[in-house]
């Protein structure tokens, strides 16, 4: 879009982004491997004919999906904010979609203005495989899972806690304190969905947590021992992370969202497999 007139005043645009994490090495740009951030920055730079950096609300890992990741970027063109969703969708690959774009103030930040993030982890428990569920769930069927025990183990996590037991190595975060605001485990037929909302998440936290919660659901571990493990910060006893494809960044909350609720609130479809 070389013919777009420009001015010197920077405008900040916020985006609601969906992506299928299957073929991405996570959100964050890196030297080797395809990433969501790099793909969007490539298109923005082509449109604006200058380098552009996009800032996300969270950094999802390799293979993790997002139903409503939030990000922002700055530009000096005259392209109105509401047009960016259509412009980007016409150029982005099929596994990234911009649901909405909106203007925000120069002080608004996708990461630092956020109040919370919410993740959903989906477990598929039927012994029969399902092609349409497989890309978005952990197929776990060897031992029955008790969702009530999982919920019982989740409840003590509510509040402000030191959760170093659920932190992978190489984390750049300075501390392991997390304010957990909501926890929920529900079953719909053969599907169990675990949702966790917090002010922020440790590197690898949800997948490590779900890997341990499955032990609770199979009665290999009691809810009480689960709680004692993270209270005592026994990281060496958290050995397995749940597979990436079952995890989705469901939504990000702000004191005042720049988007209508239908654009970001609950945009990962529910599978209805009640048989």
End-to-end Cα spacing for the chain: 52
What is the length of the chain?
A: 275
In the set 3, 61, 74, 266, the catalytic residue is 61
Estimate to the nearest angstrom the gap between the alpha carbon of 11 and the chain centroid: 26
User: Is 126 among the residues known to form the active site?
Assistant: no
Sign of the CA dihedral running 79, 82, 83, 89:
positive
Return the H-helix or E-strand segment holding 76. strand 65-77
Phi, psi of 160 (to 5 degrees): -100, 110
d(CA 6, CA 9): 9
Q: Is 87 helix (H, G, I), strand (E, B) or coil?
A: helix
Produce one character per residue of 237-254: b if its CB has 16 or more CB atoms within 10 Å, e if not: ebeebbbbbbbbbbbbbb
Give the angle subtended at the CA of 130 by the CAs of 240 and 275, to the nearest 5°: 105
Whole-number CA gyration radius for the chain: 20
DSSP annotation string for 97-116: EEEEEEEE-TT--TTTT--E
Produce one character per residue of 12-31: b if its CB has 16 or more CB atoms within 10 Å, e if not: bbbbbbbbbbeebbbbebee
Active-site amino acid positions = 61
């Amino acid at each position: 879009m070389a013919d777009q007139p420009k001015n010197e005043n920077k405008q900040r645009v916020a985006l609601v982004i969906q992506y299928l994490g299957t073929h991405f090495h996570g959100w964050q740009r890196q030297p080797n491997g395809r990433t969501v951030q790099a793909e969007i920055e490539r298109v923005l730079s082509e449109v604006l004919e200058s380098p552009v950096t996009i800032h996300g609300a969270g950094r999802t890992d390799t293979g993790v999906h997002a139903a409503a990741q939030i990000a922002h970027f700055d530009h000096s063109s005259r392209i109105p904010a509401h047009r960016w969703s259509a412009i980007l969708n016409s150029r982005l690959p099929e596994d990234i979609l911009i649901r909405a774009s909106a203007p925000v103030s120069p002080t608004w930040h996708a990461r630092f203005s956020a109040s919370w993030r919410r993740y959903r982890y989906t477990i598929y428990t039927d012994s029969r495989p399902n092609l349409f569920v497989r890309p978005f769930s952990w197929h776990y069927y060897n031992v029955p899972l008790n969702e009530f025990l999982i919920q019982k183990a989740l409840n003590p996590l509510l509040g402000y806690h030191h959760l170093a037991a659920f932190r992978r190595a190489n984390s750049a975060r300075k501390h392991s304190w997390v304010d957990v605001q909501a926890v929920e485990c529900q079953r719909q037929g053969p599907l169990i969905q675990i949702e966790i909302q917090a002010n922020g998440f440790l590197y690898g936290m949800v997948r490590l947590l779900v890997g341990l919660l499955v032990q609770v659901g199979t009665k290999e571990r009691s809810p009480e021992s689960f709680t004692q493990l993270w209270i005592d910060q026994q990281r060496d006893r958290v050995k397995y992370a749940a597979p990436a494809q079952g995890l989705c960044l469901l939504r990000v909350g702000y004191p005042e969202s720049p988007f209508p609720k239908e654009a970001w609130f609950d945009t990962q479809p529910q599978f209805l497999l009640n048989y």
